[in-house]
Amino acid sequence: MDWSWLLVLACPIMMIFMMFGMKGHHGHGKRTELQDSVSRSEYEVLVKENQAIQKQLNQIHEKVNG
C-alpha cells in the first residue's frame, strides 16, 4: 500500500487541528473588572514589597561598603 499521500497531507491536517485547538484560547486575554481590581491590588502589594526589599538591600550595601 502506498502511504506517500499521507505525508503530503500531514502538514495541512496538522494545521487544521492546531487552528481548532487555538480557537478555544481566544477568550483568555479578556479580563473582567474583578480580575483587574485584584490584579491592581496584587500589583500594589508587590510594589510595596519590592520597595521594602530594595531599602533592605541598600542598607546591606551601605554596611558592606562602609
Q: What is the pLDDT of residue 29?
A: 59
Retrieve residue 53's grid coordinates. Answer: 526589599
- pLDDT tens digit string along 29-66? 566 666 677 678 888 898 999 999 999 999 999 998 87
- Going from the C-alpha of 52 to that of each of 28, 29, 31, 37, 47, the distances in angstroms are 33, 32, 30, 23, 9
- Alpha-carbon distance of 48 to 52, in angstroms, equals 6
Q: Which pLDDT value is given to residue 28?
A: 58
Q: How does pLDDT run across 3-32, given as a tens digit for each residue? A: 777 778 888 888 888 887 777 665 555 666
- Predicted local confidence at residue 32, as pLDDT: 67
Rounded to 10 degrees, what is the CA torsion of 4, 8, 13, 18? Answer: 120
Top pLDDT among 1 and 53 is at 53
